[in-house]
């Protein structure tokens, strides 16, 4: 079995070494133009040339949860695209989101601002009953986030394309239930996959339906959010702020209004990073399952986009 690795702006050498150690019976190499054909590939933002040259590929393993960039390429219809199920990302995402929710709910951002001024301040405790958290997207990451929020006694709503049934979580599904989900939510966490249907889904119309004082946490894709609409709703007072980890242009350009907005917290796309050892173990397990003719999880539906 030949396995090739093709990464954009990421050193493939540690992955080649790690995969070769984990799967010694395979031949593993980093791709270069004109490289010999392979049956399986591990990729991150590969060029179209890679797809065009590697005509014998059976499977593309993407080293991230989102595959929107990959599906923009011209892929053979029979090529199986596989995303990571978790590989250590879900616990990171749960940590990040719980931190952002609690920081907002407990007004730690306000305390931070006061301490910078040498001010000893006090804020009246808020009621969790007034801070229902809505998680948009109940895949592997979204489900873990929703369950983690329950530990802190937040009321949790969940929204997904298809119906889900999660204990203790009020679940909504389908476009017809989106308004009800938004109106029942004060803190909105976006974990939706990016598709043609979900691009720009966080806009003035949808975000205006959040409860007064709503807060937005976007950890999915920058193209979900209409940036000017968010700033307008914050400045008008309908939204109280946002924590953003993903952006339409990354790195976030110097001079972008998000950098200096007092009610927006920016982090550099770090909410859930790919962990190499966990990812290699998962990918090898799936390759071995395919060798045995067994089904695997994480196969992407090209039409749905996830």
Catalytic residue among 161, 186, 221, 224: 221
pLDDT per position as a tens digit, 246-289: 999 999 999 999 999 999 999 999 999 999 999 999 999 999 99
Query: Is 99 tagged catalytic?
Result: no
pTM of the model: 0.93
Q: Give the 3-state secondary structure of residue 160.
A: strand
Cβ density class 197-221: b for 16+ within 10 Å, e for less: ebeebbeeebbebbbeebbbbbbbb
Q: What is the mean pLDDT of the chain?
A: 96
pLDDT of 213 reads: 98
pLDDT per position as a tens digit, 59-96: 999 998 789 989 999 999 999 999 998 889 999 999 99
Q: How far apart are CA 96 and CA 104, in angstroms?
A: 12
Catalytic residue among 161, 269, 297, 304: 269
Q: Give yes or no for a contact between 131 and 106, defined as CB atoms under 8 angstroms apart.
A: no
Cα–Cα nearest to 136, from 104, 95, 174, 82: 174
């Amino acid at each position: 079995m030949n396995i090739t690795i093709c990464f954009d702006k990421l050193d493939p050498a540690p992955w080649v070494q790690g995969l070769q150690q984990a799967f010694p019976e395979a031949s593993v190499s980093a791709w270069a133009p004109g490289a010999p054909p392979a049956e399986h590939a591990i990729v991150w933002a590969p060029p179209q040339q890679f797809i065009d040259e590697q005509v014998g590929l059976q499977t593309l393993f993407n080293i991230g949860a989102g595959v929107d960039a990959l599906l923009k390429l011209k892929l053979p219809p029979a090529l199986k695209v596989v995303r990571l199920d978790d590989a250590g990302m879900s616990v990171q995402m749960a940590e990040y989101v719980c931190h952002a929710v609690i920081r907002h709910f407990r007004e730690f951002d306000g305390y931070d601002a006061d301490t910078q001024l040498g001010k000893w301040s006090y804020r009246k405790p808020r009621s969790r009953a007034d801070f229902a958290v809505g998680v948009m997207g109940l895949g592997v990451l979204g489900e873990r986030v929703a369950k983690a929020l329950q530990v802190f006694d937040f009321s949790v709503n969940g929204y997904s394309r298809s119906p889900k049934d999660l204990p203790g979580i009020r679940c909504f599904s389908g476009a017809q239930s989106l308004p009800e989900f938004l109106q029942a939510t004060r803190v909105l966490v976006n974990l939706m996959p990016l598709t043609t249907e979900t691009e720009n889904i966080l806009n003035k119309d949808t975000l205006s339906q959040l409860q007064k004082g709503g807060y937005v946490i976007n950890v999915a894709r920058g193209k979900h959010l209409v940036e000017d609409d968010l700033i307008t709703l914050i400045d008008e007072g309908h939204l109280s702020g946002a924590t953003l980890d993903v952006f339409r242009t990354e790195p976030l350009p110097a001079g972008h209004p998000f950098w200096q907005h007092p009610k927006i917290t920016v982090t550099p796309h770090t909410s859930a990073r790919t962990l190499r050892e966990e990812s290699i173990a998962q990918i090898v397990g799936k390759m071995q399952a395919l060798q045995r003719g067994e089904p695997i999880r994480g196969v992407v539906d090209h039409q749905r986009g996830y």
